[in-house]
A and B are shown apart, each in its own frame.
Chain A
């Protein structure tokens, strides 16, 4: 399978703990996006990378959220001191840069439950 993969698929944690999610994009895609999706809503943009550069991070939900893509391949999204309101599906998507507005390819998501 050469699609976008995310790990883990499910994460249950206690309030106050830190969690980290991983996303592996399609190999030739140089753009990588993170979203949050809550029940009954569409994906909400968080941040995106072009290669290893994080080009937009102002929409990360708080300073507890951070993302990295150190070598321009896989990416991680970390949430520190989790809160119950962080419970949601976290989606990763990738796309090619060479043509503007290329469609994004989404992974299956990581479902976070904060107890």
Chain B
């Protein structure tokens, strides 16, 4: 069975500083990993995904994530945070074998202070 852990319920960062939102995964086969963002009163939006290839994946709004197989992590990063990045961030993994059923973490609330 697969699982995703987001160890931080909340991350606080000052505007202009780099941010990291942590995610670790546990899957039996090759990991297929995603980050989504949820703004207040809006649906989840896709940010980026790792399927194969380069360990550093670039996505929307200047976000990137680093896949680390040895640490089973897929942390979300941004070099310079904006107040508008404040939102709820979800890490997810998808099962292989054709079912493509995702498992989401419980989410991390990112608060960027002016």
Which of A's residues lie within 8 Å of B, judged by CB? 3-4, 31, 40-45, 48, 55-56, 59, 91, 93, 100-101, 103-109
Contact = CB atoms under 8 A, between A and B. Distances in A.
Given A103-B49, A106-B43, A108-B42, A48 B101 contact: yes
Nearest to A9: B41
Contacts of A100: 51, 100
Q: How many B residues are at the interface, by size bracket?
A: 20 to 34
B43 A4 contact: yes
B106 A43 contact: no
A101 B49 contact: yes
Which of B34, B36, B106 gathers the greatest number of chain A CB atoms within 10 Å? Answer: B36
Interface string B78-100: 00000000000010101000011
B99 A108 contact: no
A108 B104 contact: no
A42 B101 contact: no
A42 B43 contact: no
Interface of B: 4, 32, 34, 36, 41-46, 49, 51, 90, 92, 94, 99-107
A104 B43 contact: no
A56 B101 CA distance: 9
Contacts of A106: 36, 43-45
Contacts of B107: 40-42
Nearest to B98: A100
Contacts of B36: 106
